[in-house]
Structure 1
Amino acid sequence: MFSSIARAIIGTTNDRALKAYSRRIASINALEAGLAALEDAALQAKTAEFGARLADGAKLDDLLPEAFAVCREASKRVLGMRHFDVQLIGGMVLHDGKIAEMKTGEGKTLVATLPVYLNALSGKGVHVVTVNDYLAKRDAEWMGRVYNFLGLSVGVIVPGIEDDERRAAYACDITYGTNNEFGFDYLRDNMKYALADMVQRDFSYAIVDEVDSILIDEARTPLIISGPSDEPTELYAQVDGIVKELAKDEAHYEKDEKFKTVNLTEEGSERVEQMLAEAGLLTEGNLYDVFNVSLIHHVQQSLRAHTLFTRDVDYIVKNGQVIIIDEFTGRMMEGRRYSDGLHQALEAKEHVVVERENQTLASITFQNYFRLYPKLAGMTGTAMTEADEFEEIYKLLVVEIPTNVPVVRKDQDDEVYRSGDEKYQAVAKLIEECRARNQPVLVGTTSIEKSELLSALLKRMKIPHSVLNARFHEQEAAIVADAGAPGAVTIATNMAGRGTDIKLGGNLEMRLKTELESLDPSARPAREAAIRAELDAAHEVVKAAGGLYVIGTERHESRRVDNQLRGRSGRQGDPGASSFFLSLDDDLMRIFGSDRMGPMLQKLGLKDGEAIIHPWINKALEKAQKKVEARNFDTRKNLLKYDDVMNNQRKEVYAQRREFMRADSVADVIGEMRADTIAVIVERRIPVKAYAEQWESAELAEDVKRIFGLDLPVVDWAGEEGIDESHLRERIADAVDAHMAAKAANFGPDFMRFLEKSILLQTLDHLWKEHLLALDHLRQGISLRAYGQRDPLNEYKAEAFALFTGLLDDLKEQVSSALAYVELGTDPDHGGPVFDPSLLIESHPNAGNYGGDLALAEPQTMTELNLTSISPYRADAVDPGRPETWAATPRNAPCPCGSGKKYKHCHGKIG
């Protein structure tokens, strides 16, 4: 009660923020008349003037009123578009590094020009992130006219362009591109072998369009660059035939649709073991023995493919390829593949060519990629429902910007039917009524399958319509442009991030573009006038009919997606209406609704074809959606905790890699690595304070020979009277150093420096690739530790730390050994294969169907049993949070206390 009274007196947080921003509008508007009187050249000179003031110590905030006013004046002259006052507020919110929630049709693209221009004045580069290539190119060309007029350069990043073009685009003052391209460029840059080959420069400021789609919906899955592995593909087809039979009986598996997981039952495990044995695939032991890890992995992925993934919903088959469908936009994701063998399982299921499985070479989530920017902002039509997540994960506050003209759209209560057939009949009846009064209709569906089902029904009723889904992706712009014409009926599979407004009567720009290009120039003015008159008349017809009617055919798990669909109607004060039709067969109702709802509706006397309509239904559904949103938030937060562990290691490796590339010579680093390697093998064979007879001198001699290729008389040295461990280490080091000095003299200093850097980088890349694979396996199986009353996250942190320590030790030893053995005329590529860029595959798995929740164990996670073989040290020995375990830390590893010193110089110091 007190909070509601306080809100009534002092307003909400959002109200107070808007009031603070509104105070600055007057100072911007006061400059308009003076700027309007300037010649173009004088207006353009303002950019240089602002740059000079920044160089003299001025802050961007000091320039905001003038820069915004200049940008608005430029927009008026170049585009014929003047920013509204509410758009100025949106620009200020974006400049402050917050999220601006602006309704569909409020001109977010134009709003972004204000903070983009202001921040580009610093010369550090501004990134504008869009959800698809079409929007990146369109916005760069459209808004680029304003920036170019003001003397700023604009670049655009799209798939398929060469590195030189990418480097030039990133060097521009403003760079447009998709979230995927920015992320993949970051990963690709950190696989290069020279700083000059990198395309990105240091991050400064980014504005993310459709920020909820990118930072929420797509945040659960990583961007992955992978290379082909040597695994054969025949096993996928063999296992598929077995699992196909197995999946026919639901007694063989347990499926959880809420969490999108599936596991074999005890009966299923016994049956699949029997079938695999009969097929000659299981030759010894049972399915869950450690040596059958690969087999159970194939079975599990095939089971997921058959029970959790539906053709024309999660993917389509086109030209003999399985193509992923983006759950949130309904678009085909060409060239993207599910990881961890899932895509191969789907290919086997659909009987198309099974491509080789890939091994991860580099990966990053959008959560961690966008947190690299010192300043980040976003804009969307729907963000308030996820405001808590934006603040907790990204430290981004959401400000709801009022509309320029009040929204007059009529949102009807939901209608709930008993069956899907009744629901679709009711939808078709409403479409007929709308067409009779020339009212355009936009129907939203959640999958291709359902859009085509409704399309078939409308065809039988002889109702003309257009279908927008992944099958007709190429026609998207034209279909959306005509969706506001009188009586038009458009069926769309998800409307998130479409980027094209539905204008009542039709889209003038699209009509002019398509119809005037083919005409003789002399005939164009008359045709343009006719088109304008036609669309003006159509606009009035549609307006009188009630504007665009939006129909939702079911509720999505997220309220945001429903709001995005609804927001297509009622833009800029236009009339409009929306309603959602639901049935008890819908996924949300079936999975999250009450089992008692159906019988209850029958008791209430609900007849065939009748619907229950009541505001309470809306509230109940909203509660269910809130629960799902909270669960998904917890999942993403849990995933981020795990990914942060890898992210810290990734940042360390990438930073170290850049240091190596930046250095003229890494000879000192190589020397330290060599000394550390010698110290490790000596300490391993000659324990501290051990008696001479306890020394493993022969084994030490073998280690020296294996690593450095030198046959030294270590046993004789060890037998000398009075020699101790330090003297022995020095003799070995002197011999190895002399060997390397002779090799350097033979190669020449320049070639030796090149060789050292090349081998160091290639070895680091090879070990990092293996480390990623180890972390993947560890992450899959770590949840099993919960059965032993141990926190999986703490276990993961401890083992990941130990694995990383092992990586550093292996790096020192492998680099030292490679340089010791390399000879002129041999291939110095000791660090593992460097893949041909044409063989690399970039993937971003569908967020809705990615690998399941970390809290749930899957049978194939038995692979964790093999992890300790990756490093000579026990993977679970050291826990940074428990000092009593630190004694197991390798002497030359970083001290787990976090000091940055080596363990032997910190908590492991002797004496």
Structure 2
Amino acid sequence: MLSIARKLFGSSNDRAIKQMAKDVQKINALEPEFEALSDEQLKAKTGEFRERLGTGEKLDDLLHEAFAAVREAAKRSLGQRHYDVQLMGGMVLHQGDIAEMKTGEGKTLVSTLAAYLNALPGKGVHVVTVNDYLARRDSEWMGRVFAKLGMTTGVILNGMMDEERRRNYACDITYGTNNELGFDYLRDNMKYALKDMVQFGGREADKATHAYAIVDEVDSILIDEARTPLIISGRTEDRTEFYKTIDALIPLLDEEDYTVDEKSRSVSFTEEGNEHVEEILREKGLLESGELYDVENVATVHHLNQALKAHTIFKKDKDYILREDKVILIDEFTGRMMPGRRLSDGLHQAIEAKEGVDIQPENQTLASITFQNYFRLYDKLAGMTGTAATEAGEFDSIYGLGVVEIPTNKPIARLDEEDELYRTAKEKYDAIIASIEEANAKGQPILVGTVSIEKSETLSDLLKKRKIKHQVLNARYHEQEASIIAQAGVPGAVTIATNMAGRGTDIQLGGNVDYRIADWVEQQKQKGKEPTEDEIKAEREKIAADVAEKKKQALEAGGLYVIGTERHESRRIDNQLRGRSGRQGDPGRSKFFISVEDDLLRIFAPERLDAIMRTMGMKEGEAIQHPWMSKAVETSQKKVEARNFDIRKNILKYDDVMNDQRKAIFEQRIEFMTSQNVTDVIKDMREQVAEDIVRRHIPPKAYPDQWDSEGLAEDVKKYFALDLPIVDWAGEEGIADEEILERLNKAQSESYAEKAANTGPELMRRIEKQILLQTIDLHWREHLQQLDALRSVIGLRGYAQRDPLNEFKTEAFSLFEHLLDELRFETTRILSNIRIEPAGMAPPRPPQDITPVHRDPQTGRNEMRPEGAPPTPPTQGVLAGAARSAAAGDAFDADRPETWGKIARNAPCPCGSGKKFKHCHGSVSAV
């Protein structure tokens, strides 16, 4: 019935396309009018549109004219005219949905339509890309279109300083990666002044909002990478030698000592393994007392598990490579190197120990957020990709995004053949080589997709033996990426690529004129010649003619032939590889060669698959090629996708609990930063602390002989720095707890007022704000660590038939209440105890030595950025001394102990060693 209804009335997608086609006609009708405008008149249209918005018109009212203006600007600046289907894609983006457009349909140009229209209110538009290369390229490329319309374009790149970031965020349209935008949000909420914030530091207060974002490769960013949170981390204690010691124990284990689960990428000790490990630890003197799983040995067990995982789960040249004596992780989805990214919980250090390279210190969480909750901050969100339909349900349930499939500009002429299934990897590779030789002989360009560096190099070795010329694109040859991909459409070219997601460069049959001319110019410069405009123009014409001839040859040979050497866990990645062929109506062909030994089938397909093939009497080199078999592989992929969706949903459920607390803390910080005076807040805190300590030591309705007057006197001295005769007051006849509280409030209020008068009102206000913000940061950081610890063990509550999520909500709420109590007590204690000497007040010191982290969804790897990261806030023991030295005009300096002030003995040492103060600069030997 459903299929009959669709034939009669069309699908919802068909109806949406039909409606947008009417809007396209209206935009096309405006084209002659906009063509007649001069450059200045076209630029003036932006001001006109903004005036009309100010008079009450809506963005939808301006859509036709704004799109016509962008199309005209693109024609004049880039020589490119938006196709009708690109206009439809722009409409979908403006509606706040996802435009699914095939590879080569010009999504980058599509984004200019919705970006321009939504930038008119002046609140800023963020265009999100998957890597720095695309952010830089698109901002420069599309920036020419926006410049024609009088709009500014910015870009956020790794390593930029705050001032540069602030300027770029203040632009009308800002390009940047998902990671940079998310980390800037987290870092902004660790700043001590609004002017220091980068995302909205350069924008007017009423326009400081996450207004609109367009996410390129939306499936990669909002689905694949959303399984793990963004984390800002700081260094902790250095345990280099311990990692090496534990690593040396792993080779002593037997295979029966542990079990490996490749589906979940986890490993665990067996019962016999636990006994064997315990025996080894005792022999090595690493387990001096108790059993292996006693509380005092928790750290040892953790390090053992991470070392075992490093040896059994993480493979060199698949999950990481070694370069310049460093372990550099490889992106599962794109095959690129990820310098600076690290695994969490000591796993990266375990791999470094395994490979014998320098071991970097561990890190602790200072701030975190999931991509789901970051992108849900935007008032309006949109996205574009070539492959979104398979995840439409998730986009709708988590982000409220619909998916609209945009028709191609020209009909797809690519032939997608059924998969060929072989029993062994060797048979599969033999078939691949034979297919490459056949296609190569007739001059057909070939793109071969692999899932790892290791497999791309295995295939490369096989091609070398057959003397077939080819190019390899993987993490080892990352620098040549764009030029290799750009020339992969040349007749006879054979290109091996590790994953094709988010490459950003189309494969054009015959080659790419722009890249060839750029290479020619560079060659001339290396020869000491600076080519003139006329020479460049002449060479371009020559190259264009050559490319046109080669394109004709490639078309005659059948277009680009895409070979998949293995099915990926996600159907979308396979579709992205397939989509490289058949660009803009070109002919093409695609086929996947798979074997029972491939990871996907070995781990997820029916276990009897190999046995069935044997039973069928298949000879070596024979393959199964049938729609049923392709369906079975697709079912395996659906299983993995469903499992990954559950992981993302589970993460989001727990992060939603934290998100409410995060919003409360971040909003409170901004409120304090915008307030000129937080004295009333401090006063309320002091009075609440006074009430709490009185209630603590003088319970309601208790008799005077049950009062703990001595304990109350100690707390008054601790939190208010007052030596009051509490014991004498308690001995007075007929005195009540309310009167003691009243006397305490009067005394602490007078004492604080005297301190404020001696310090000076302005200086005191600034110190109050600094201490308040620093104390919030300290306790929020500790709160995050507690939540991390709680999250890691809360699943055990399930054994008691209790819902772990509900338990987490309850415990997290209790911890948050405790956080607020501690915030009041600590702020009151510090402000009451600091000694302030009126002098020039130094500004609050920004955080130091922090690193952004995003754990890779497939492998568990975390992103970090050591270079250019802001410093960590002074630790708890440093707060009082930092405020005092700031008041005296000396900024806190980790290298100058004289600027530290008084440090608590058990606080971390301000020098950054990770040791307690009493064991470092505060030790007797140090003195």
Shared fold (TM-score, shorter chain, > 0.5): yes
Match of 1:84 in 2: 83
What is the one-letter code of the residue matched to 1:492?
A
Query: 1:53 and 1:496, CA in 2 relative to 1: closer, same or farther beyond 3 A?
Result: same
For 2:76, give the aligned amino acid.
Answer: R
Q: Secondary structure at the match of 1:376?
A: strand
Measure how far apart 1:316 and its partner are: 1.0
The correspondence for 2:640, drawn from 617, 625, 628, is 628
CA drift of 1:834 comes to 7.0
Secondary structure (helix, strand or coil) at the match of 1:847 reads coil
**3-state DSSP class of the match of 1:848?**
coil
**Which of 480, 490, 494 does residue 475 from structure 1 map onto?**
480
Q: Which residue of 2 aligns with 1:209?
A: 216
Deviations 1:133-190 (A, max 9, x none): 1111111111110100110011111111211111110100000111111111111111
Tell me whether 1:291 sits opposite 2:303 in the alignment. no
Does residue 1:239 correspond to 2:246, yes or no? Answer: yes
Aligned residue type for 1:478: S
Instruction: State the Cα distance separating 1:784 from its structure 2 match.
Output: 0.6
Structure 1 residues without counterparts, runs of 5 or longer: 853-911
Partner of 1:112: 111
Kept in 2: contact 1:223–1:365 (CA 8 A)? yes
Once the two structures are aligned, what percentage of the paired residues are identical? 61
Q: Kindly provide the amino acid, as one letter, of the partner of residue 814 in structure 2.
A: A
2:517 corresponding residue in structure 1: 512
Deviation string, structure 1 residues 100-150 (Cα, Å, up to 9, x no partner): 000000000011111111111111100000011111111111111010011
SS in 2 for 1:409: strand
1:790 CA displacement: 0.7
The C-alpha deviation readout for 1:248-281, integer Å capped at 9, x for no partner, is: x232122211111222111111111221222222
- Counterparts of 1:52 and 1:267, CA distance in 2: 77
CA contact (8 A) 2:191 2:847 kept: no
Structure 2 counterpart SS, 1:444:
strand
CA contact (8 A) 1:335 1:842 kept: no
Contact 2:513 2:540 in 1 (8 A): no
What is the one-letter code of the residue matched to 2:247?
D
Query: What is the one-letter code of the residue matched to 2:365?
Result: T
Q: Matches of 2:722 and 2:275 in 1, distance apart?
A: 55
- What does 1:147-296 align with in structure 2 at a 5 Å threshold? 147-201=146-200, 202-246=209-253, 249-296=254-301
Alignment correspondent of 1:700: 712
Q: 1:128 to 1:851 in 2, by over 3 A?
A: closer
Match of residue 897 from structure 1: none
What secondary structure is seen at the aligned counterpart in 2 of 1:491? strand
**2:902 maps to what in 1?**
none
C-alpha distance in 2, partners of 1:425/1:113?
Answer: 46
Q: Tell me, in whole angstroms, the C-alpha distance in 2 between the residues paired with 1:647 and 1:347.
A: 34
Residues 1:594 and 2:601 are matched in the alignment:
no
- 2:921 aligned partner: none
Report if aligned partners of 1:506, 1:535 keep a CA contact under 8 Å in 2. Answer: yes
Residue 760 (structure 1) shift: 0.7
Q: Supply the AA of the counterpart residue of 2:175.
A: Y
2:482 partner letter: A
Distance 2:298 2:693 in 1: 33
Aligned with 1:380 (options 379, 385, 400):
385
Pair 1:792-2:804 in alignment = yes
Of 832, 843, 852, the residue aligned with 1:842 is: 852
CA 1:735–1:718: 2 relative to 1, 3 Å: same
What secondary structure, in the 3-state scheme, does the structure 1 residue paired with 2:154 have? Answer: strand
Task: Note the 1:476-491 alignment, pairs <5 A.
Answer: 476-491=481-496
Aligned to 2:592: 580
Q: Which residue of 2 aligns with 1:902?
A: none
1:570 aligned to 2:577? Answer: no
- CA shift digits 1:682-739 (9 cap, x unpaired): 1111222222222111111111122222221111111212221211111112111122
Mapped to 2, the partners of 1:826 and 1:819 lie a distance apart of 15
What residue in structure 2 maps to residue 26 of structure 1?
25
CA–CA distance in structure 1, aligned partners of residues 335 and 774 of structure 2: 40
- Residue 690 of structure 1 aligns with an amino acid whose one-letter code is A
Shift of 1:826: 12
Q: 1:727 aligns with which of 729, 739, 752?
A: 739
Cα deviation 1:665-692 (Å, max 9, x = unaligned): 1111111111111111111112222222
Shift of residue 828, structure 1, vs aligned partner: 14
What SS does the aligned partner of 2:185 have?
A: helix
Q: 1:136 to 1:620 in 2, by over 3 A?
A: same
1:498 has 2:503 as partner: yes
Q: Deviation at 1:239? A: 0.9
| Counterpart for residue 901 of structure 2 | none
For residues 809-858 of structure 1, what are the alpha-carbon distances to aligned partners after superposition, in whole Å with 9 as ceiling and x for unaligned? 001000000011100369999xxx97763x22222121102299xxxxxx
Between the aligned partners of 1:244 and 1:686, the Cα distance in structure 2 is 61
Counterparts of 2:635 and 2:22 in 1: how far apart (Å)?
A: 38
Deviations 1:571-595 (A, max 9, x none): 1000100000000100110001111
Distance (whole Å) between structure 1 residues aligned to residue 251 and residue 741 of structure 2: 62
Question: For 1:734 and 1:229, how far apart are their aligned partners in 2?
Answer: 43
The CA deviation string for residues 838-895 of structure 1, in whole angstroms up to 9 with x for no partner, is: x22222121102299xxxxxxxxxxxxxxxxxxxxxxxxxxxxxxxxxxxxxxxxxxx
CA deviation string 1:541-573 (max 9, x = no partner)? 000000000000111111000000000000100
In 2, Cα distance between equivalents of 1:667 and 1:346: 51
Structure 2 CA distance for aligned equivalents of residues 663 and 386 of structure 1: 45
Select the residue among 732, 738, 742 that pairs with 2:754.
742
Q: Which residue of 2 aligns with 1:55?
A: 54
Query: What's the C-alpha RMSD, in Å, of the aligned pairs?
Result: 1.6
Q: 2:786 aligns with which of 774, 777, 782?
A: 774
- The answer to whether the 8 A contact 1:755-1:828 is kept is no
Q: Which runs of 4+ in 1 moved over 4 A?
A: 825-829, 833-836
CA distance 1:415–1:343, change in 2 (3 Å): same
Match in the other structure for 2:102: 103
**How far apart are the structure 1 equivalents of 2:802 and 2:787?**
18
CA contact (8 A) 2:98 2:402 kept: yes
1:431 aligns with 2:436: yes
Cα distance, 1:61–1:428 mapped onto 2, change above 3 Å: same
Q: How does 1:809-828 map to 2 (within 5 A)?
A: 809-824=821-836
Other structure's SS at 1:499 match: coil
Q: What SS is found at the alignment partner of 2:413?
A: coil
Residues 17-46 of structure 1: CA distance to partner in whole angstroms, max 9, x if unpaired?
Answer: 212222211111111111112222222211
Deviation at 1:651?
A: 1.0
Change (3 A) 1:573 1:851: closer
Q: Paired residue for 2:340?
A: 335
8 Å Cα contact 1:818/1:828 also seen in 2: no
Distance 2:767 2:846 in 1: 19
Question: What's the counterpart of residue 370 of structure 1?
Answer: 375
Q: For residues 286 and 357 of structure 2, what CA distance do their matches in structure 1 show?
A: 22
**1:535-546 maps to which residues of 2 (within 5 A)?**
535-546=547-558
> 3-state SS of the aligned residue for 2:342?
coil
Partner-residue secondary structure (3-state), 1:687 = coil
Residues in 2 aligned to 1:828 and 1:350: alpha-carbon distance in whole angstroms: 52
Code of the residue aligned with 2:233 in structure 1: it is S
Q: Is the 8 A contact 2:855 2:861 kept in 1?
A: no
Alignment partner, residue 74 of structure 1: 73
Question: 1:508 Cα deviation (Å)?
Answer: 1.0
Residue 453 of structure 1: how far off its partner (Å) = 0.7
Report how far residue 525 of structure 1 moved. Answer: 3.2
Amino acid at match of 1:371: R
Cα distance in structure 2, aligned partners of 1:269 and 1:834: 48
Deviation, structure 1 residue 600: 1.1
Q: Report what 1:856 is aligned to.
A: none
**Structure 2 match to 1:441:** 446
Give, as a single letter, the amino acid of the residue that structure 2 aligns with 1:783.
G
Question: How many angstroms apart in 2 are the aligned matches of 1:773 and 1:300?
Answer: 20
